[in-house]
Amino acid sequence: MLDFLTSNTTTIQHGLTSFPIILSITLPILLCILLLLPYLNPTTPPPKGCRRLGLSPSQRSNLHDEYSPKYTHGLPSTATEPESGIPAWRIKALFTYPIKSCAGVELEAADVIETGLKYDRLFCFAEFFPSPQPATASTNTSPSTSNEKENDEANGTWTARTLRDRDFRQLALLRPEIWIPDPSSPTYSPTNPETLSNGVLLIHYPLPPSHNPIITLLRTLHILPSQSHFTIPLDPPPNSSTQFPLTPVKIWKDIPLAHNYAHLLPAALKDLLTYDTTLPPHQRRKLSLFRASHSHRREIYRNAPRKQEIGFQPVTGFADAYPIHLLNMASVRDVAANCADEIPELSVRRFRANVIVQGPGKFVEDEWKRIVIGDSSGDGVEVYTACRTIRCKLPNVDPDTGVRHPREPDRTLKRYRRIDVGDLTNACLGMQCVPAVKEFTLRVNDPITVLETGEHCYIKMLAPGEKVEGV
């Protein structure tokens, strides 16, 4: 027993004696890490001479209470809020999505142009699919020369990629910020590149996972950054047509010309979005980012009002089909209640709407044909609710994690929301909208007034000269 106590006492004394030595070694290392931390994981500097659009980081989202039970029940269209007196039927939140399938930017007020909310679906990622080669063609897999690459692009198709595509769920994790020139900024100059391009997108993205455990640990401890960023011009700068060439991009049945931003994509971003990084880069499908062209819009004819009715033919950029997507809070809460076992908190943001409204009861919007947003006495804007939104499996992807649920909410929607005779194989949620004027502004709390209701049919209406196709 005496030997045991003597042994332990010696061990404790040794530990106490060596503690200052350990401290003298580790303390300088910790101090160095703390001093270097701002340089190892720096904050992103703001673009020169610009201001950021959208809610500030300190502002609370207008969807902060989206899971409240109060949104499960509708109110009369004439009701008002008891405390504020504002109409019960009104805009709850506004979102624009600068890059198709990437994170949205929440706004208090949104300028609307002929393609929809300004900056909405302005950019889109696309993959290059080479044309099938003849059986006798060479199978050489060595890296191509620049001339060969140009020839390759003439023999294939750039095809838009979205969260619908299994290998592109990581798009949900890209977070763009819209920065526009601000003459009041101390760094503003009319000759700034940011000014000449009418602003920039600052795009944050997670770095691909590292195979090095030390790097993984340092990222977890926030000593090394786990995110990176890059900027792109909102408009191609003047005299830059060779840098941003107009290139055909296939989106659904349309193949508009769009500006190719391929040379601005970081290699790490391509690795993040590449479905198989085991392939050497020259064997992977090429990936690029495209900007919709001002002069090559996609005209809309299906169910949309015609030029004779509103004075112009509706157009869109990289949106699926129509300029504006509207969603009703009560309708989403009903869907959420029906799949709560699988997804306890189903966010409205999964459905990527531009205009989210509160007040109407669940699915009341299914029958809207025309509405006014804003003051119905004369200052409001008439909007055609052209058709219901046919849903795909895109909302199965969690916008916060990029994780795709194997079933929901697609399964729930198809169980009781296949209601449109134009497409009884798919479910509906939300409305596709076409404003009757080209330019105006939407604001949170703008009232909603219904002008006309009626039956909808999601059916392909024909453009002049277009051939008949099956529904």
What are the pLDDT digits (tens) for 401-430? 999 999 999 999 999 999 998 889 999 999
Residue 247 pLDDT more than 50? yes
Q: Order of strands, edge to edge, in the sheet holding 381-390?
A: 105-107, 90-96, 355-358, 324-328, 428-435, 381-390, 368-373, 448-453
Read off the pLDDT of residues 203-243 as tens digits, 9 standing for 90 and up: 999 988 878 888 888 778 777 888 899 999 999 998 888 99
Question: Does the bond joining 409 to the residue before it have cis omega, within 30 degrees of 0?
Answer: yes
When pLDDT is averaged across residues 386-415 and rounded to a whole number, the result is: 95
CA-closest candidate to residue 199, choices 228, 177, 184: 177
| Residue 162 contacts residue 38 (beta carbons within 8 Å) | no
What is d(CA 251, CA 160) in angstroms, rounded to the nearest whole number?
5
Amino acid in the structure at residue 204? H
Ranking 146-155, 187-196, 391-400 by mean pLDDT, the lowest is 146-155
pLDDT of residue 375: 82
Percentage of the residues of the chain whose pLDDT score is greater than 70? 82
What is d(CA 83, CA 78) in angstroms, rounded to the nearest whole number?
15
Coil, strand or helix: which one is 328? strand
Residue 139 pLDDT more than 50? no
How far does Cα 44 stand from its chain's mean position?
Answer: 20
CA angle 394, 398, 401 (to 5 degrees): 135
What is d(CA 227, CA 220) in angstroms, rounded to the nearest whole number?
11
Alpha helices (H) in 373-424, listed in sequence order: 410-416
Amino acid in the structure at residue 438? K
Mean pLDDT across the chain: 86
What is d(CA 207, CA 87) in angstroms, rounded to the nearest whole number?
45
pLDDT band at 165 (very low <50, low <70, confident <90, very high): confident
Q: Where along the chain do its domains lie?
A: 50-130+155-453
Contacts (Cβ under 8 Å, ≥6 apart) of 76: 88
Ranking 20-29, 263-272, 343-352 by mean pLDDT, the lowest is 20-29
What is the Cβ-side half-sphere exposure of residue 95, based on CA atoms within 13 angstroms? 26
DSSP state of 43: P
When pLDDT is averaged across residues 72-86 and rounded to a whole number, the result is: 91
Alpha helices (H) in 107-221, listed in sequence order: 146-153, 193-196, 213-220
Ranking 153-157, 297-301, 439-443 by mean pLDDT, the lowest is 153-157
Rg of the chain in Å (alpha carbons): 27
Name the one residue in this structure whose structure tokens are 């008949």. Answer: 468
Query: C-alpha distances in angstroms, 273 versus 107, 211, 277?
Result: 28, 17, 9
pLDDT of residue 12: 45
pLDDT of residue 166: 74
Phi, psi of 128 (to 5 degrees): -95, 125
When pLDDT is averaged across residues 255-271 and rounded to a whole number, the result is: 94
Provide the phi-psi class of 341: left if phi over 0, else alpha when psi is between -120 and 50, else beta.
alpha
pLDDT band at 276 (very low <50, low <70, confident <90, very high): low
Ranking 156-160, 278-282, 310-314 by mean pLDDT, the lowest is 278-282
When pLDDT is averaged across residues 353-369 and rounded to a whole number, the result is: 97
Residue 36 pLDDT more than 70? no
Ranking 89-93, 168-172, 230-234, 275-279 by mean pLDDT, the lowest is 275-279
pLDDT of residue 22: 57
Residue 461 pLDDT more than 60? no
Name the one residue in this structure whose structure tokens are 């966010």. Answer: 347
CA-closest candidate to residue 93, choices 116, 115, 109: 109
Read off the pLDDT of residues 65-74 as tens digits, 9 standing for 90 and up: 999 999 999 9
Q: Which residues pair with 397 in a beta bridge?
A: 404
| Residue 224 contacts residue 263 (beta carbons within 8 Å) | no
Ranking 151-155, 244-248, 317-321 by mean pLDDT, the lowest is 151-155
Ranking 15-19, 129-133, 200-204 by mean pLDDT, the lowest is 15-19
Residue 282 pLDDT more than 90? no
pLDDT of residue 447: 97
